[in-house]
Structures are given as structure tokens and as C-alpha cells.
Amino acid sequence: MTPVAPVLTTERLTLRAQTPSDAEAHAAFYGSVRSAGMGGPLDRPQAWRQFAAELGHWLLRGYGFWMVEVTETGQTVGQVGFWNPDGWTEVEIGWAMFEGSEGKGYAYEAALTARAYAYDTLGWGPLTSVIVPGNTRSEALAARLGARPERDWLSPSGRQAVIWRHPSKAELA
């Protein structure tokens, strides 16, 4: 059983599924405070379980989080994709940029392409993004993508979050 995660390419980036060799960079991200908006920081065993959940998400849902790679250098700069585990409000588009990879527009570029895949190929309606209030970088990206805060939401793990709503395909046209 292998997940069929499509590879998406943008001008500068390649979005691809996780491979075992990504576990290290993933653990480094989840071990840092940068992961506070994603339920972190996590110790290594917890990060490994999160990594396994991301891979399993592809199998169970047919979509999930990609690793984002700079095509020219092969450097992994973060993750962008769709998240909808049991108990989630509805499918969301999320992003996480690794240390030193912010400010280059990578997350925006990857999220635009992922969202277009959701709307044009998967045929989804307007997406959400679940953002922990005060995660200002993430809020800024959501706003740049045209999303707006819609309502407060308590995650299954009891975390207070805000659900942002993205424009629909028709609104983007």
C-alpha cells in the first residue's frame, strides 16, 4: 500500500510526499518553538508519531501535507498541504516553514498551487485554515491568500483556534 501523493511543481518549488529521510528535518521543526502553531514543540518520539500520521493521512484521505522543496537546490524548506484528521472541523490548508526559510514567499507560492489543486482538480469548495490566535506570520499569509477569520474553534486537543475561510474558486476567478 503506497500513498498516491501527486507531485506539484511551481515556479521555484516542488511539493512531494514525505520519504523516510525527511523525518530528521521534520523532527527538528517540531522540536523548536516554530511549531507552536502546529501543536508543538514535540519531543522526538512524539514528532515521529506526527510524521507517521502525516504519511498515514495520505493513505486514509488521499491527500495530506507535502514536503516543500526548492527545485533547484533540493533543499527542504517546509510543509504545505491539507489536514483533516478525525475530529477536525473540515479539511484545512496548512503550512509550516522551517528555520531560515521564511520571507522568501515560498509558503505563499506553495499554498497557491495546493489550493488550486484542491479547487480545480479535487473539486473542493472554499477551504479553511485553522490558526492559533497570535500566530501572526501565519495570519498574515492567510490574509495574503485572501482568507478571512470566520469563527472561533476549540480543537479536539482543547486548543483555542480561529477558523479562517479562503475565497471560493468563483471568488478567485
Partner 1 sequence: MSLTTLPRIALTTERLTLRVPEERDFDAFAGWIADGARSHWVGGPGSRDEAREGFDFMRAHWAEKGFGYFHVALTATGRALGRVGISHPAHRAEPEVAYALYAASDEGQGYATEAARAVRDWGFGALGLPGLVSYIAPENLGSIALARRLGARAEGTTTGRDGREQIVYRHPRPEEART
Contacts with partner 1 by CB under 8 A lie at: 3-4, 6-10, 59, 61-63, 113, 116-117, 120-123
**Choice between 122 and 154, CB closer to partner 1:** 122
**Choice between 121 and 136, CB closer to partner 1:** 121
* Nearest distance in Å: CB 130, partner 1: 21
Element (H, E) at 93: strand 92-97
**Choice between 34 and 166, CB closer to partner 1:** 166
166 in helix, strand or coil? coil
* Nearest distance in Å: CB 148, partner 1: 24
**What is the C-alpha separation between 49 and 37, in angstroms, rounded?**
17
* Nearest distance in Å: CB 6, partner 1: 5
Read off the C-alpha cell for 136.
501572526
Closest CA to 164 of 140, 24, 12: 140
* Nearest distance in Å: CB 140, partner 1: 26
Identity of residue 109: E
**Choice between 135 and 168, CB closer to partner 1:** 168
Read off the C-alpha cell for 14.
516542488
Read off the C-alpha cell for 78.
517546509
